Structure 1
Amino acid sequence: MALVHRGAWRLVTPLLRVARTNPALFLQRRHASKQFKDQKKELKPKPKINKQKVEIKQKMTVKELARAMNRDFDHVVEALLNTSVDVDELEPDSVLDQVWVKEVVSRSGMKFRWAKLSETRERPNKDATRPDKHTESLRKSQIVATEAGGITQHIGAFSVQLASGEAMTFLDTPGHAAFSSMRARGASATDIVVLVVAADDGVMEQTVESIRHARTAGVPIIVAVNKCDKPQADPERVKKELLSHDVICEEFGGDIQAIHVSALQGDGLVELTEAVVALAEVLELKAEPDGLMEGLVIESRNDKGKGPVSTALVQRGALRRGAVLVSGRAWAKVRFMFDENDSVLKEAGPSRPVQVSGWRELPSAGEEILEVETEQRAREVVAYRQYLDEQQRLSEDQRTIAANREAHLQEYREQREELGHLSWRQRRRALYQKNKDAFALRPKEWGQEEADPGDVDGSVETLLNVLDSYDAQDECELKLIHFGTGDITETDVNLAHTFSGSVYGFNVAVPRPVQQVALKKDVPLRLHSVIYKLIEELQQELSLKRPPITTETILGEANVLMIFEVSEGKKKVPVAGCRVQRGVLDKKHSFRVLRGKQVLWEGSLSALKHHKDEVSSVKVGMDCGLSADGNVDFSPGDIVQCYEQQDRPQTTSWTPPGF
Structure 2
Amino acid sequence: MSFVSRRFLRLCTGSSVFLRGVGIQDVWLRGHFVRSLTTSELLFKRRKTAEERKSPRIIEYSPKKTSNKPTVHGVVDIWRNITVKELADAVQRPLEDIQEVMLYVKDADDIDPSARLEDVKVIREIVTKCGMKSRIVAAPDKEIHEEKDRDVVPRPPAPPENLKPRPPVVTVMGHVDHGKTTLLDSLRGASVAAGEAGGITQHIGAFTVTLSSGETVTFLDTPGHAAFSAMRSRGANLTDIIVLVVAADDGVMAQTREVIKLAQDANVPVIVAINKVDKPEADVERAKKELMQMGLALEGHGGETQVVNISALKGTNLKELAEAIVTQATLMSLKSEYSGLVEGVVVESKNDKRRGKLSTAIVTRGTLRKGSILVSGQAWAKVRALFDHVGNPVDDATPGTPIEILGWRELPLAGDIILEVESEKKAHSVIRWRENAAQKEKAEKDQEAILKKEQEHLEKYIAAREARRLAGRFKMRPDGPRQKLYEDDPTPRVNLILKGDVHGSVEAILDVFDSYNEHDKCRLNIVHYGVGDITEGDLELARTFKAIIYAFSVNAPAKPPKHVTIREFNIIYRLIDDLKEEISKKLPSVEVEDVVGEANVLQQFFINEGRKEVPVAGCRCTKGLLKKSSNFRLLRNGEVLYDGPVESIRHLKNEVDSIKKDVECGIRLKDVKVVPQPGDTLLCYTTHMEPQVTNWDPGF
Give TM-score, length-normalised by structure 1. Answer: 0.49
